Amino acid sequence: MLPYKNFSSKLQLVKHGKLSLLDNVNFFLNRIEENKHLNAYNFVFGCEAKEQAVKIEEKIKSGSHGKLAGLVLAVKDVLSIKDKPTTCSSNMLRDFTSLYSATVVKKLLDEDAIIIGKTNCDEFAMGSSNENSAFGPVLNPYDNERVPGGSSGGSAVAVAAGLCDVSLGTDTGGSIRQPAAFCGVFGLKPTYGRVSRYGLTAFASSFDTIGPFANNIEDMTQVLQVMAGHDTNDSTSSPMPVPDMINNLVLNAGKLRLGIAKEYLGEGLSPEIKKAVEEIIAKLKSLGFQVEEIHLPHNEYTIATYYILTTAEASSNLARYDGARYGYRSENSSSLMEMYRSSRSEGFGSEVKRRIMLGTYVLSAGYYDAYYRKAQKVRRFIKNDFDEAFKKVDIILAPTSPTVAFKIGEKSSDPLEMYLSDIYTTSANLAGIPGLNIPIAKNSAGLPIGMQLFAKQFDELNLLKMGYYIQENVS
């Protein structure tokens, strides 16, 4: 059991000589070893983490430390760290070493965070269960026969099982929020463009976002404050100013208007999850919050729209992995075309190949207008639905997932059923708005239940305020 509640209290303990950073890092390294069966990490950087702990503790004592001094961090294995492997949990990149660090990694290191390792994930971040990894599946710490969610399952487990303070994941259609719900931790998808994507291996470039997992809102806010902001290396990075979130988390009851969309509480939702969400809503009403029903008329098209657009982008982004420039190259070929074909067939896993094929199909000459162009138009309708809703309310509340964590292998043979795991999360990525999972309860089997909050674009502050209020007063 850690002797601190959050990062701020940890830093105070180190400053007053009551906690050794080296001992703290060793604690996490021992936890990682004891929980190797969870398969949360692809790589552990034990020696470097211990060296950094000693250096950073000296900086803390001298008062020259950064904002995140001593925070022990895990990073999803789709983000580049210079001179470290970046595999995307794929055989295609199993032997690849990064030539530079992602902007978010550099920002965190510059503020004296300690990166302890890189976490397992679905291959190229494509999946909802973390079963699609060349390193094997990640196990849910609450029930090792169940999935942790995906694609950032390793990052969610690393926080839930106490294998680090905070971790980074990526969210293309719910890949932070859904595993956060399955593992009982907080998970934040920022607004698209709020955090630089430079150094992130792309899945779907107009959807991908980088965000943190944490056991509390305070740590999540500290990390987001450092990561957020404009980056000249990323043309989609927003110049929108980043407010002071750390010192403005306190929210007075009733100050934000809350919205409930009936589309999120209908058929297919587990009765236990529905009951848990409704209980939170009832508590918030009793505490003085105004709750209003809203309508998202195009919500039923989110899954179809999401998978048409993201597979199209994946098809384009993954074309670069051909065995010629870098990555896996097949030795079973006698011609250039055969080398391309064999390298991609052997290097990619089945889910990635399925999405490449779907994406290539919807982009093909005969189907571009019927599928891709139409999906782009529907994406705009979905965004407009949220824009209209946020004229009436400040925060939208919804379940994060229709079910709790399911059994390993339970949905592997039915891709469509697996894709429906993201039915409540993909809309935020289509609209580019921020989303936050909050652990609110456990079901009758002791498995975590999550609820998510949405806010308008670049309104992470109100999102975190509401999350902090629920953390401290409700759940």
Residues 172-204: tens digit of each pLDDT: 999 999 999 999 999 999 999 999 999 999 999
The superfamily CATH assigns to domain 1-292+394-475 is: Amidase signature (AS) domain (3.90.1300.10)
pLDDT tens by residue, 250-271: 999 889 999 999 999 988 999 9
Burial call 242-254: b when 16+ CB within 10 Å, e when fewer: beebeeebebeee
CA distances from 35 to 25, 32, 332, 469 (A): 15, 5, 38, 32
pLDDT at 475: 73
CB 108 within 8 A of CB 73: yes
Nearest to 116 by CA among 160, 72, 158: 72
The pLDDT value recorded for residue 343 is 95
Task: In whole angstroms, give the CA distance from residue 415 to residue 417.
Answer: 5
CA separation (Å) from 33 to 1, 102, 158, 162, 211? 16, 27, 12, 12, 26
pLDDT of res. 416: 83
In whole angstroms, give the CA distance from residue 307 to residue 309.
6
Token pair for 116: 């302890």
Given a cut of 70, the residues of the chain with pLDDT beneath it are none
The per-residue pLDDT for range 205-250, each reduced to its tens digit, is: 999 999 999 999 999 999 999 999 999 999 999 999 999 999 999 9
Whole-angstrom Cα distance, residue 461 to residue 328?
A: 43
Q: Which residues pair with 292 in a beta bridge?
A: 259
Residues serving a catalytic function are 76, 151, 175
Q: 215: which DSSP letter?
A: S
| Whole-number pLDDT of residue 428 | 98
Supply the pLDDT for residue 266.
87
Which pLDDT score, from 0 to 100, does residue 1 have? 77
Peptide bond into 151 cis (omega under 30): yes
DSSP β-ladder status, 395-399 and 258-261: parallel
